[in-house]
Amino acid sequence: MSRKKHLTSLKLLVIAAFISGAMNGCASSVVSSNPRNVVVESQSMDAREAQRLADAECAKYKRYAKMTIKADYWDRNYSFECIE
């Protein structure tokens, strides 16, 4: 492989790694879960995605997620209560 092609491939790899890391940093994820409560961290403060994740966790126990604490600038966690 020529030096020019190698540098181009390396640049593309670095760009792909950066984009992947940036996308993962903005994702929402379940921090903790049990039959009664779910905590979802959302760096982008995406309430709809947090609700979707909490509903999926509560559904494991045949329950529904009700938001009890909304994320804000200082705390990026949503808290949900799993209700029947």
Q: Which residues contact 16 (CB under 8 A, 6 or more apart)?
A: none
pLDDT by 10s per residue, the chain, length 84: 566 554 555 555 445 445 544 444 569 999 999 999 999 999 999 999 999 999 999 999 999 999 999 999 899 999 999 999
3-class DSSP assignment, residue 82: strand
Distances in Å between the Cα of 74 and the Cα atoms of 34, 70, 82 are 24, 11, 24
Cα–Cα distance measured from residue 37 to residue 68, given in angstroms and rounded to the nearest whole number:
10
